[in-house]
């Protein structure tokens, strides 16, 4: 992103226009409507947070908070590695990469439980 539109005090509309023209928000018919909609989201009272995959393939977390003086605080965090780890985690549809196996024939047999050999978890 050009340095002149990412400095404190820069117009959020200029940043949004640059992002829209770059293709960050997908296809659109009316760029002014896209800019207006995004600006309203960013000015949600109490703040607004969302994640988006950028055109470069990176995942970015966007957090915006309107301030009392009318300005807008924006915090942007690259969460690509976090998202990649999330995507690697097994889900109910995708079984884990490990599986239970039977003990080998040479594995030691557990001792039978007696009053002299109680389970280790008993007091």
Q: Which of 62-71, 94-103, 109-118 has the highest mean pLDDT?
A: 62-71
Confidence of residue 21 (pLDDT cuts 50, 70, 90): very high
More confident residue, 80 or 99: 80
Residue 94 belongs to some domain of the structure? no
Domain count, the chain: 1
Query: What CA–CA distances, in Å, run from 118 to 18, 70, 108?
Result: 71, 70, 18
Tell me which residue range forms the domain holding 42: 3-88
Residue 112 belongs to some domain of the structure? no
DSSP-based three-state secondary structure for 65: strand
Q: pLDDT tens-digit profile of 45-92?
A: 999 999 988 878 899 999 999 999 988 888 999 999 999 998 887 777
Residue 39 belongs to some domain of the structure? yes
Query: What CA–CA distances, in Å, run from 52 to 12, 28, 47, 57, 80?
Result: 17, 17, 17, 10, 10
Q: What is the pTM of this model?
A: 0.60
42 C-beta neighbours (distance < 10 Å), count = 21
Residue 76 belongs to some domain of the structure? yes
Give the span between the Cα atoms of 51 and 3, in whole angstroms: 23
Give the model's pLDDT for residue 77: 95
Q: Which of 50-54, 91-95, 97-101, 119-123 has the highest mean pLDDT?
A: 50-54
Dihedral (C-alpha) 16, 18, 19, 20: value to the nearest 10 degrees?
80
């Amino acid at each position: 992103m050009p340095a002149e539109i990412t400095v404190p005090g820069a117009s959020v509309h200029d940043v949004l226009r640059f992002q829209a023209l770059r293709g960050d928000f997908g296809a659109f018919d009316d760029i002014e409507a896209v800019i207006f909609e995004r600006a309203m989201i960013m000015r949600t009272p109490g703040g607004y947070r969302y994640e988006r995959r950028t055109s470069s393939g990176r995942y970015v977390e966007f957090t915006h908070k309107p301030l009392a003086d009318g300005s807008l605080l924006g915090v942007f965090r690259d969460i690509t590695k976090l998202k990649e780890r999330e995507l690697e985690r097994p889900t109910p549809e995708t079984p884990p990469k490990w599986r239970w196996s039977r003990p080998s024939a040479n594995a030691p047999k557990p001792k039978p439980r007696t009053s002299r050999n109680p389970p280790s978890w008993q007091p």
